[in-house]
Protein backbone atom coordinates (compact mmCIF):
# COMPACT_ATOMS: atom_id res chain seq x y z
CA UNK A 1 0.00 0.00 0.00
CA UNK A 2 1.37 3.41 -0.99
CA UNK A 3 1.97 5.77 1.92
CA UNK A 4 0.31 9.17 1.76
CA UNK A 5 2.80 11.86 0.79
CA UNK A 6 2.74 15.39 -0.58
CA UNK A 7 5.96 14.75 -2.50
CA UNK A 8 5.23 13.86 -6.10
CA UNK A 9 7.56 11.40 -7.78
CA UNK A 10 9.73 12.49 -10.69
CA UNK A 11 7.34 10.75 -13.10
CA UNK A 12 4.33 12.52 -11.57
CA UNK A 13 6.10 15.88 -11.79
CA UNK A 14 6.95 15.21 -15.42
CA UNK A 15 3.31 14.46 -16.24
CA UNK A 16 2.16 17.52 -14.28
CA UNK A 17 4.54 19.82 -16.14
CA UNK A 18 3.63 18.29 -19.50
CA UNK A 19 -0.08 18.85 -18.86
CA UNK A 20 0.58 22.37 -17.61
CA UNK A 21 2.40 23.15 -20.85
CA UNK A 22 -0.51 21.83 -22.92
CA UNK A 23 -2.98 23.83 -20.84
CA UNK A 24 -0.91 26.98 -21.23
CA UNK A 25 -0.03 26.67 -24.91
CA UNK A 26 -3.09 24.95 -26.41
CA UNK A 27 -6.11 25.25 -24.09
CA UNK A 28 -5.79 28.83 -22.81
CA UNK A 29 -5.35 30.52 -26.21
CA UNK A 30 -8.56 28.83 -27.41
CA UNK A 31 -10.62 29.33 -24.26
CA UNK A 32 -12.31 32.63 -25.07
CA UNK A 33 -13.27 31.60 -28.60
CA UNK A 34 -14.96 28.33 -27.65
CA UNK A 35 -16.68 29.92 -24.66
CA UNK A 36 -18.28 32.41 -27.04
CA UNK A 37 -19.10 29.78 -29.66
CA UNK A 38 -20.64 27.42 -27.09
CA UNK A 39 -19.57 24.44 -29.17
CA UNK A 40 -17.51 21.31 -28.58
CA UNK A 41 -13.86 22.24 -29.31
CA UNK A 42 -13.13 19.28 -31.56
CA UNK A 43 -9.80 20.75 -32.82
CA UNK A 44 -8.50 21.01 -29.25
CA UNK A 45 -9.66 17.48 -28.42
CA UNK A 46 -7.86 16.37 -31.61
CA UNK A 47 -4.66 18.05 -30.43
CA UNK A 48 -5.03 16.36 -27.05
CA UNK A 49 -5.40 13.02 -28.83
CA UNK A 50 -2.31 13.65 -30.96
CA UNK A 51 -0.08 14.17 -27.94
CA UNK A 52 -1.65 11.30 -26.00
CA UNK A 53 -3.70 13.20 -23.42
CA UNK A 54 -7.07 12.22 -24.85
CA UNK A 55 -6.62 8.47 -24.87
CA UNK A 56 -7.50 5.34 -22.96
CA UNK A 57 -3.83 4.68 -22.18
CA UNK A 58 -3.28 8.06 -20.57
CA UNK A 59 -6.48 7.88 -18.55
CA UNK A 60 -5.68 4.34 -17.38
CA UNK A 61 -2.15 5.32 -16.33
CA UNK A 62 -3.48 8.11 -14.16
CA UNK A 63 -6.44 6.10 -12.86
CA UNK A 64 -4.22 3.22 -11.74
CA UNK A 65 -1.50 5.39 -10.19
CA UNK A 66 -0.87 3.51 -6.91
CA UNK A 67 -0.71 6.75 -4.92
CA UNK A 68 -4.13 7.88 -6.16
CA UNK A 69 -2.73 11.25 -7.20
CA UNK A 70 -2.56 10.71 -10.96
CA UNK A 71 -6.14 11.81 -11.69
CA UNK A 72 -6.29 14.84 -9.34
CA UNK A 73 -2.95 16.17 -10.58
CA UNK A 74 -4.09 15.81 -14.20
CA UNK A 75 -7.50 17.38 -13.56
CA UNK A 76 -6.03 20.36 -11.74
CA UNK A 77 -3.64 21.21 -14.55
CA UNK A 78 -6.14 20.82 -17.39
CA UNK A 79 -8.82 22.85 -15.61
CA UNK A 80 -6.22 25.48 -14.77
CA UNK A 81 -6.17 25.97 -18.54
CA UNK A 82 -9.95 26.34 -18.98
CA UNK A 83 -12.85 24.49 -17.41
CA UNK A 84 -15.08 24.28 -20.49
CA UNK A 85 -12.43 22.91 -22.83
CA UNK A 86 -10.99 20.66 -20.13
CA UNK A 87 -14.42 19.16 -19.47
CA UNK A 88 -14.74 18.43 -23.19
CA UNK A 89 -11.43 16.57 -22.95
CA UNK A 90 -12.14 14.64 -19.74
CA UNK A 91 -15.94 14.32 -19.93
CA UNK A 92 -15.62 10.90 -21.52
CA UNK A 93 -13.89 9.82 -18.33
CA UNK A 94 -17.15 9.86 -16.35
CA UNK A 95 -18.67 7.31 -18.70
CA UNK A 96 -15.45 5.30 -18.50
CA UNK A 97 -15.64 5.35 -14.69
CA UNK A 98 -19.21 4.09 -14.96
CA UNK A 99 -17.98 1.08 -16.91
CA UNK A 100 -14.96 0.53 -14.66
CA UNK A 101 -17.13 0.70 -11.53
CA UNK A 102 -19.87 -1.65 -12.73
CA UNK A 103 -18.66 -3.59 -15.80
CA UNK A 104 -16.98 -6.92 -16.39
CA UNK A 105 -13.42 -7.17 -17.73
CA UNK A 106 -14.81 -8.02 -21.16
CA UNK A 107 -17.11 -4.99 -21.13
CA UNK A 108 -14.27 -2.73 -20.02
CA UNK A 109 -12.05 -3.98 -22.83
CA UNK A 110 -14.81 -3.75 -25.43
CA UNK A 111 -16.44 -0.40 -24.73
CA UNK A 112 -13.91 1.99 -23.23
CA UNK A 113 -11.68 2.04 -26.35
CA UNK A 114 -14.74 2.87 -28.44
CA UNK A 115 -15.44 5.84 -26.18
CA UNK A 116 -12.22 7.55 -27.25
CA UNK A 117 -11.83 6.48 -30.87
CA UNK A 118 -8.35 7.12 -32.24
CA UNK A 119 -6.11 10.01 -33.25
CA UNK A 120 -7.60 10.20 -36.73
CA UNK A 121 -11.21 9.88 -35.61
CA UNK A 122 -11.75 11.01 -32.03
CA UNK A 123 -14.97 10.05 -30.26
CA UNK A 124 -16.59 11.05 -26.97
CA UNK A 125 -18.82 9.22 -24.50
CA UNK A 126 -21.67 10.27 -22.21
CA UNK A 127 -22.83 9.18 -18.76
CA UNK A 128 -26.59 9.61 -18.47
CA UNK A 129 -28.08 9.57 -14.98
CA UNK A 130 -29.97 12.79 -14.17
CA UNK A 131 -33.55 13.26 -15.36
CA UNK A 132 -35.92 16.23 -15.52
CA UNK A 133 -37.58 15.08 -12.28
CA UNK A 134 -34.68 13.14 -10.78
CA UNK A 135 -31.47 15.03 -10.14
CA UNK A 136 -30.33 14.84 -6.54
CA UNK A 137 -33.26 12.51 -5.83
CA UNK A 138 -32.03 9.49 -7.78
CA UNK A 139 -34.78 7.34 -6.27
CA UNK A 140 -37.29 9.25 -8.44
CA UNK A 141 -35.69 8.06 -11.67
CA UNK A 142 -38.25 7.07 -14.32
CA UNK A 143 -36.18 5.75 -17.22
CA UNK A 144 -37.06 2.04 -17.43
CA UNK A 145 -35.14 -0.94 -18.68
CA UNK A 146 -37.26 -4.04 -19.37
CA UNK A 147 -35.70 -7.39 -20.21
CA UNK A 148 -37.00 -9.20 -23.31
CA UNK A 149 -36.00 -12.75 -22.42
CA UNK A 150 -37.02 -14.23 -25.79
CA UNK A 151 -34.55 -12.01 -27.65
CA UNK A 152 -32.04 -11.53 -24.81
CA UNK A 153 -32.43 -7.78 -25.19
CA UNK A 154 -33.08 -4.85 -22.88
CA UNK A 155 -35.58 -2.20 -23.95
CA UNK A 156 -34.92 1.31 -22.61
CA UNK A 157 -37.43 4.17 -22.46
CA UNK A 158 -37.08 7.58 -20.82
CA UNK A 159 -35.41 10.97 -20.94
CA UNK A 160 -32.07 11.90 -19.46
CA UNK A 161 -30.89 15.46 -18.90
CA UNK A 162 -27.71 17.38 -18.11
CA UNK A 163 -25.69 14.76 -19.98
CA UNK A 164 -22.17 15.86 -20.87
CA UNK A 165 -21.67 14.86 -24.52
CA UNK A 166 -25.28 13.64 -24.60
CA UNK A 167 -26.44 12.93 -28.14
CA UNK A 168 -23.04 13.54 -29.76
CA UNK A 169 -21.37 10.61 -27.97
CA UNK A 170 -20.39 7.40 -29.70
CA UNK A 171 -21.17 5.42 -26.54
CA UNK A 172 -23.78 6.33 -23.93
CA UNK A 173 -23.81 4.80 -20.45
CA UNK A 174 -27.40 4.97 -19.20
CA UNK A 175 -28.65 4.37 -15.66
CA UNK A 176 -32.18 2.98 -15.66
CA UNK A 177 -34.75 1.43 -13.32
CA UNK A 178 -35.08 -2.35 -13.51
CA UNK A 179 -37.17 -2.82 -10.34
CA UNK A 180 -39.26 0.25 -9.34
CA UNK A 181 -40.25 -1.24 -5.98
CA UNK A 182 -36.65 -1.12 -4.75
CA UNK A 183 -36.16 2.60 -5.35
CA UNK A 184 -32.51 3.53 -5.93
CA UNK A 185 -31.49 -0.07 -5.20
CA UNK A 186 -33.40 -1.18 -8.29
CA UNK A 187 -31.16 0.68 -10.74
CA UNK A 188 -28.66 -0.71 -13.24
CA UNK A 189 -26.27 0.71 -15.83
CA UNK A 190 -26.39 -0.09 -19.54
CA UNK A 191 -24.19 0.51 -22.56
CA UNK A 192 -25.99 1.96 -25.57
CA UNK A 193 -23.69 1.23 -28.54
CA UNK A 194 -23.01 3.68 -31.38
CA UNK A 195 -25.85 4.35 -33.82
CA UNK A 196 -28.45 2.43 -31.81
CA UNK A 197 -31.96 3.23 -33.12
CA UNK A 198 -34.23 5.10 -30.73
CA UNK A 199 -31.58 7.21 -28.99
CA UNK A 200 -31.72 10.88 -29.97
CA UNK A 201 -30.47 14.20 -28.66
CA UNK A 202 -33.09 16.40 -27.08
CA UNK A 203 -32.56 19.98 -25.97
CA UNK A 204 -28.99 21.30 -26.01
CA UNK A 205 -28.55 23.65 -23.07
CA UNK A 206 -27.16 27.18 -23.33
CA UNK A 207 -25.27 27.50 -20.09
CA UNK A 208 -23.97 30.15 -17.69
CA UNK A 209 -20.49 28.59 -17.70
CA UNK A 210 -18.43 25.68 -19.09
CA UNK A 211 -19.87 26.68 -22.44
CA UNK A 212 -17.32 24.75 -24.49
CA UNK A 213 -18.66 21.53 -23.01
CA UNK A 214 -21.71 20.04 -24.74
CA UNK A 215 -24.63 19.44 -22.36
CA UNK A 216 -27.95 18.08 -23.61
CA UNK A 217 -30.95 15.86 -23.05
CA UNK A 218 -30.89 12.27 -24.27
CA UNK A 219 -34.20 10.75 -25.34
CA UNK A 220 -34.64 6.97 -25.35
CA UNK A 221 -37.61 5.55 -27.25
CA UNK A 222 -37.82 1.76 -27.39
CA UNK A 223 -34.03 1.52 -27.48
CA UNK A 224 -33.13 -2.15 -27.85
CA UNK A 225 -29.68 -3.28 -26.78
CA UNK A 226 -28.15 -6.77 -26.45
CA UNK A 227 -28.31 -8.47 -23.06
CA UNK A 228 -24.51 -8.23 -22.94
CA UNK A 229 -24.82 -4.44 -22.65
CA UNK A 230 -26.03 -4.67 -19.04
CA UNK A 231 -22.96 -3.65 -17.06
CA UNK A 232 -21.88 -6.43 -14.74
CA UNK A 233 -24.15 -9.00 -16.40
CA UNK A 234 -27.63 -10.28 -15.60
CA UNK A 235 -26.55 -12.95 -13.13
CA UNK A 236 -24.84 -10.37 -10.95
CA UNK A 237 -27.84 -8.02 -11.25
CA UNK A 238 -30.31 -10.76 -10.28
CA UNK A 239 -28.25 -11.65 -7.22
CA UNK A 240 -28.07 -8.03 -6.12
CA UNK A 241 -31.78 -7.46 -6.59
CA UNK A 242 -32.59 -10.62 -4.66
CA UNK A 243 -30.47 -9.49 -1.71
CA UNK A 244 -32.11 -6.07 -1.76
CA UNK A 245 -35.59 -7.56 -1.80
CA UNK A 246 -34.77 -9.80 1.15
CA UNK A 247 -33.47 -6.92 3.22
CA UNK A 248 -35.91 -4.23 2.05
CA UNK A 249 -38.14 -4.59 5.09
CA UNK A 250 -35.22 -4.47 7.51
CA UNK A 251 -34.23 -0.97 6.38
CA UNK A 252 -30.92 0.78 6.85
CA UNK A 253 -28.97 -1.32 4.38
CA UNK A 254 -26.19 0.60 2.68
CA UNK A 255 -26.38 -0.47 -0.92
CA UNK A 256 -24.67 1.52 -3.64
CA UNK A 257 -26.74 1.91 -6.76
CA UNK A 258 -25.09 2.20 -10.18
CA UNK A 259 -25.14 5.99 -10.32
CA UNK A 260 -23.89 6.46 -6.76
CA UNK A 261 -20.97 4.09 -7.34
CA UNK A 262 -19.86 6.23 -10.27
CA UNK A 263 -20.28 9.54 -8.46
CA UNK A 264 -18.48 8.30 -5.35
CA UNK A 265 -15.48 7.32 -7.47
CA UNK A 266 -15.43 10.64 -9.32
CA UNK A 267 -16.09 13.21 -6.56
CA UNK A 268 -12.42 13.82 -5.62
CA UNK A 269 -11.69 14.28 -9.34
CA UNK A 270 -14.38 16.98 -9.53
CA UNK A 271 -12.77 18.57 -6.49
CA UNK A 272 -9.47 18.64 -8.37
CA UNK A 273 -11.17 20.37 -11.29
CA UNK A 274 -12.42 23.04 -8.91
CA UNK A 275 -8.94 23.46 -7.45
CA UNK A 276 -7.58 24.02 -10.96
CA UNK A 277 -10.11 26.75 -11.73
CA UNK A 278 -9.56 28.42 -8.36
CA UNK A 279 -5.80 28.35 -8.84
CA UNK A 280 -6.10 29.85 -12.31
CA UNK A 281 -8.11 32.79 -10.94
CA UNK A 282 -5.73 33.23 -8.03
CA UNK A 283 -2.67 33.22 -10.32
CA UNK A 284 -4.21 35.87 -12.54
CA UNK A 285 -5.31 38.04 -9.62
CA UNK A 286 -1.90 37.77 -7.97
CA UNK A 287 -0.06 38.89 -11.09
CA UNK A 288 -2.57 41.69 -11.63
CA UNK A 289 -2.15 42.90 -8.04
CA UNK A 290 1.61 42.94 -8.42
CA UNK A 291 1.53 45.04 -11.60
CA UNK A 292 -1.58 47.22 -11.24
CA UNK A 293 -0.69 50.54 -9.63
CA UNK A 294 -3.04 52.90 -7.84
CA UNK A 295 -2.01 55.91 -5.75
CA UNK A 296 1.59 55.38 -6.86
CA UNK A 297 2.09 51.80 -5.73
CA UNK A 298 1.05 48.22 -6.65
CA UNK A 299 -2.34 47.36 -5.21
CA UNK A 300 -0.87 44.29 -3.51
CA UNK A 301 0.79 46.71 -1.08
CA UNK A 302 -2.68 47.39 0.32
CA UNK A 303 -3.69 45.04 3.12
CA UNK A 304 -7.22 44.82 1.78
CA UNK A 305 -5.86 43.17 -1.38
CA UNK A 306 -2.96 41.27 0.17
CA UNK A 307 -5.15 39.66 2.83
CA UNK A 308 -7.64 38.51 0.19
CA UNK A 309 -4.83 36.86 -1.74
CA UNK A 310 -3.53 35.24 1.45
CA UNK A 311 -6.96 33.76 2.14
CA UNK A 312 -7.33 32.62 -1.47
CA UNK A 313 -4.01 30.77 -1.44
CA UNK A 314 -4.75 29.16 1.93
CA UNK A 315 -8.16 27.92 0.81
CA UNK A 316 -6.76 26.51 -2.45
CA UNK A 317 -4.03 24.60 -0.64
CA UNK A 318 -6.53 23.27 1.92
CA UNK A 319 -8.85 22.13 -0.86
CA UNK A 320 -6.02 20.36 -2.64
CA UNK A 321 -5.07 18.54 0.56
CA UNK A 322 -8.63 17.26 1.00
CA UNK A 323 -8.77 16.14 -2.64
CA UNK A 324 -5.44 14.35 -2.47
CA UNK A 325 -6.37 12.64 0.80
CA UNK A 326 -9.67 11.36 -0.62
CA UNK A 327 -8.02 10.21 -3.84
CA UNK A 328 -5.31 8.37 -1.92
CA UNK A 329 -7.90 6.75 0.37
CA UNK A 330 -10.01 5.58 -2.57
CA UNK A 331 -7.03 4.08 -4.39
CA UNK A 332 -5.54 2.35 -1.36
CA UNK A 333 -8.85 0.90 -0.23
CA UNK A 334 -9.30 2.97 2.92
CA UNK A 335 -12.95 3.36 3.85
CA UNK A 336 -14.47 6.83 3.80
CA UNK A 337 -15.43 6.77 7.48
CA UNK A 338 -16.44 10.45 7.48
CA UNK A 339 -17.44 10.85 3.81
CA UNK A 340 -14.00 12.20 2.93
CA UNK A 341 -14.83 12.03 -0.79
CA UNK A 342 -17.81 14.32 -0.32
CA UNK A 343 -15.76 16.57 1.95
CA UNK A 344 -13.18 17.09 -0.78
CA UNK A 345 -15.77 17.88 -3.42
CA UNK A 346 -17.73 20.19 -1.12
CA UNK A 347 -14.80 22.27 0.08
CA UNK A 348 -13.05 22.50 -3.28
CA UNK A 349 -16.28 23.50 -5.05
CA UNK A 350 -17.12 26.22 -2.56
CA UNK A 351 -13.51 27.43 -2.69
CA UNK A 352 -13.63 27.75 -6.46
CA UNK A 353 -16.76 29.93 -6.33
CA UNK A 354 -15.33 32.10 -3.58
CA UNK A 355 -11.82 32.51 -5.01
CA UNK A 356 -12.99 33.33 -8.53
CA UNK A 357 -15.36 35.93 -7.07
CA UNK A 358 -12.51 37.45 -5.07
CA UNK A 359 -10.41 37.57 -8.23
CA UNK A 360 -13.07 39.66 -9.94
CA UNK A 361 -13.12 41.99 -6.95
CA UNK A 362 -9.34 42.43 -7.05
CA UNK A 363 -9.48 43.31 -10.75
CA UNK A 364 -12.35 45.73 -10.12
CA UNK A 365 -14.17 46.87 -13.24
CA UNK A 366 -11.73 44.98 -15.45
CA UNK A 367 -12.67 41.75 -13.73
CA UNK A 368 -16.29 42.27 -14.67
CA UNK A 369 -15.54 42.33 -18.41
CA UNK A 370 -14.90 39.51 -20.85
CA UNK A 371 -11.60 41.11 -21.78
CA UNK A 372 -10.18 39.46 -18.67
CA UNK A 373 -10.47 35.70 -18.02
CA UNK A 374 -11.54 35.82 -14.36
CA UNK A 375 -15.10 36.65 -15.42
CA UNK A 376 -15.23 33.40 -17.38
CA UNK A 377 -13.57 31.49 -14.54
CA UNK A 378 -16.23 32.73 -12.12
CA UNK A 379 -19.02 31.60 -14.43
CA UNK A 380 -17.33 28.22 -14.86
CA UNK A 381 -16.82 27.76 -11.12
CA UNK A 382 -20.57 27.87 -10.46
CA UNK A 383 -21.00 24.36 -11.87
CA UNK A 384 -18.82 22.67 -9.26
CA UNK A 385 -21.35 23.22 -6.49
CA UNK A 386 -24.09 21.76 -8.69
CA UNK A 387 -23.04 18.80 -10.82
CA UNK A 388 -22.21 15.31 -9.58
CA UNK A 389 -23.94 16.09 -6.31
CA UNK A 390 -24.78 19.62 -5.17
CA UNK A 391 -23.07 21.14 -2.16
CA UNK A 392 -26.27 20.54 -0.23
CA UNK A 393 -26.17 16.84 -1.12
CA UNK A 394 -22.50 16.62 -0.10
CA UNK A 395 -23.38 18.12 3.28
CA UNK A 396 -26.25 15.65 3.60
CA UNK A 397 -23.95 12.71 2.83
CA UNK A 398 -21.37 13.94 5.33
CA UNK A 399 -23.97 14.56 8.03
CA UNK A 400 -25.66 11.18 7.57
CA UNK A 401 -22.29 9.44 7.66
CA UNK A 402 -21.30 11.18 10.87
CA UNK A 403 -24.66 10.25 12.39
CA UNK A 404 -24.25 6.61 11.37
CA UNK A 405 -27.29 6.77 9.11
CA UNK A 406 -27.61 4.95 5.75
CA UNK A 407 -26.75 6.77 2.52
CA UNK A 408 -29.55 6.35 0.01
Distance separating alpha carbons of residues 397 and 338, to the nearest angstrom: 9
DSSP 367-391: GGSTTSTHHHHHHHHGGGGTTTS-H
Q: Which residues pair with 225 in a beta bridge?
A: 154
Terminal CA-to-CA distance of the chain, rounded, Å? 30
Q: Kindly give the residue spans of alpha helices, DSSP state H, lying in 9-69.
A: 10-22, 28-37, 42-51, 56-63
Q: Are 173 and 191 in contact (CB under 8 A)?
A: yes
- 371 an active-site residue? no
CB 97 within 8 A of CB 64: no
Q: Is 14 left (phi over 0), alpha (psi -120 to 50) or beta?
A: alpha
- Would you report the helix, strand and coil content of the chain in percent, each value rounded to 5? 60, 15, 25
Of 36, 239, 388, 392, catalytic: 388
Catalytic residues: 388
Amino acid sequence: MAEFTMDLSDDQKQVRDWLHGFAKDVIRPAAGEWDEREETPWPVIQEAAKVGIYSLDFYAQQFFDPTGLGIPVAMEELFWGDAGIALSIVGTGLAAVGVLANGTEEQIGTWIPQMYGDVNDVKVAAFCSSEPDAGSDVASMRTRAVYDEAKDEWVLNGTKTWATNGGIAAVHVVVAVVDPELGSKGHASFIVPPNTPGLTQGQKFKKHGIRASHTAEVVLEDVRIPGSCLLGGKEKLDERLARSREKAKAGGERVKNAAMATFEASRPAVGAMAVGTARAAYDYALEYARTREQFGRPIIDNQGIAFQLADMRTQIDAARLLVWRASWMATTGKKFESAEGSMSKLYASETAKKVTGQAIQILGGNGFTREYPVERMHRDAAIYTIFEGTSEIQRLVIARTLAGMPIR
